[in-house]
């Protein structure tokens, strides 16, 4: 999706909890036809493991002339991960990839040295009939030594995503390694992304199940962590990783993100991520001078806003 870097983040959007934890509230950002809730980055925490950006899309009712239409825009130094609960997005990129990402599927585009893409509501969905769009788009920063690899696009249908029931929880391993299992989507660093749904109130114990930092994104319902109630639209970040345990209320859905932090500091400039600020500046100039590859048959263009890298 089109991402606009926020230059100032209000301190009210997060606060520290006991035991080295942070609680984050979604910050509203406008993507044109609907609002998204932005969870990462923020002032006190730029990344969780290799995860650099987390946007919550919807739930929003589309149709009747209201659709997702994100025109051609570039990326470097990162992978975008698209995961939906409802609705569909048509992905097209400068590699020639064309794929409709539906609920439960995973789209994973690695920009490397440079890629351009669009994201739109599929044509057959553009009717008077209304439908719900709900999901997440995430950026995963590439390690320094892989920032300039060739771009690629991977697609994993929902049938290929490991899923199981355990202790009353429905669990899907979207990416990486967790709970002694491996997803077909491994990425380029030690990471994990897990979709957890509780039909009834239960406890999720993460001891020795994950490796690295962990963020709990509450999609629906409510969790309890050491007497703190955390609600939908909030994210709890813990640096005590696999020693965490949380209580999920009935009908609660949580996404777990995280992994080992990258060894080098990374910076953001609009849609670009890099450990080298000079690469960010060059990417900006290349986009302004039409030097990025183009999506076949698409002449749209999103100009880069006047912002500074962080």
Q: Name the percent of the chain lying above pLDDT 70.
A: 82
- Average pLDDT of the chain is 86
Q: pLDDT digit string (tens) for 151-195? A: 999 999 999 999 999 999 999 999 999 999 999 999 999 999 999
Evaluate whether 56 touches 45 at the Cβ level (below 8 Å): no
Q: Residue 35: which pLDDT band, with cuts at 50, 70 and 90?
A: very low
Lowest mean pLDDT among 23-37, 74-88, 173-187, 268-282: 23-37
Q: Please state the φ and ψ torsions of residue 140, each to the nearest 5 degrees.
A: -120, 115
The more confident residue out of 210 and 91 is 91
Query: What is the rounded average pLDDT of the residues 15-23?
Result: 48
Considering the four listed CATH numbers 2.60.20.30, 3.40.50.300, 2.60.120.10, 2.40.400.10, the one that applies to the domain covering 13-288 is 2.60.120.10
Evaluate whether 179 touches 171 at the Cβ level (below 8 Å): yes
pLDDT above 70 for 9: no
Biggest alpha carbon–alpha carbon distance for the chain: 55
Out of 114-118, 165-169, 243-247, the most confident range is 114-118
Residue 56 has a pLDDT of 85
Q: Residue 53: which pLDDT band, with cuts at 50, 70 and 90?
A: confident
pLDDT above 70 for 32: no
Query: What is the rounded average pLDDT of the residues 43-47?
Result: 64
pLDDT above 50 for 7: no
What ranges do the domains of the chain cover? 13-288
Residue 254 has a pLDDT of 95
Q: Name the percent of the chain lying above pLDDT 90.
A: 65
The more confident residue out of 220 and 2 is 220
pTM listed for this prediction = 0.87
Query: What is the rounded average pLDDT of the residues 199-205?
Result: 93
| Residue owning tokens 């990783």 | 241
Rg of the chain over all Cα atoms, to the nearest angstrom: 19
Residue 28 has a pLDDT of 53
């Amino acid at each position: 999706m089109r991402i606009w870097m926020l230059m100032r983040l209000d301190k009210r959007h997060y606060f520290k909890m006991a035991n080295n934890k942070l609680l984050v509230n979604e910050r509203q950002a406008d993507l044109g036809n609907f609002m998204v809730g932005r969870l990462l980055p923020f002032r006190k925490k730029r990344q969780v493991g290799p995860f650099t950006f987390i946007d919550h899309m919807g739930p929003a009712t589309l149709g009747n002339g209201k659709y997702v239409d994100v025109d051609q825009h570039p990326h470097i130094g990162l992978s975008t991960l698209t995961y939906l609960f409802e609705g569909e997005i048509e992905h097209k990129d400068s590699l020639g990839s064309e794929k409709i990402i539906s609920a439960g599927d995973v789209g994973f585009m690695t920009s490397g040295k440079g890629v351009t893409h669009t994201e739109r509501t599929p044509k057959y969905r553009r009717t008077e009939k209304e439908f719900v769009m709900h999901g997440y788009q995430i950026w995963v920063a590439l390690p320094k030594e892989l920032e300039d690899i060739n771009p690629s696009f991977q697609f994993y249908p929902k049938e290929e995503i490991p899923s199981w029931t355990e202790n009353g929880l429905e669990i899907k391993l979207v990416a990486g390694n967790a709970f002694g299992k491996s997803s077909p989507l491994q990425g380029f660093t030690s990471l994990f992304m897990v979709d957890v749904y509780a039909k009834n109130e239960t406890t999720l114990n993460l001891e020795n199940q994950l490796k690295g930092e962990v963020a709990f994104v509450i999609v629906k319902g409510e969790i309890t962590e050491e007497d703190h109630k955390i609600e939908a639209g909030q994210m709890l970040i813990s640096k005590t990783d696999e020693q965490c345990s949380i209580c999920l209320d009935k009908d609660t859905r949580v996404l777990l993100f995280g992994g080992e932090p990258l060894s080098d500091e990374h910076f953001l400039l609009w849609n670009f991520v890099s450990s080298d600020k000079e690469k960010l500046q060059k990417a900006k100039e290349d986009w302004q001078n039409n030097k990025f590859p183009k999506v076949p048959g698409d002449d749209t263009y999103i100009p880069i806003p006047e912002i500074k890298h962080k």
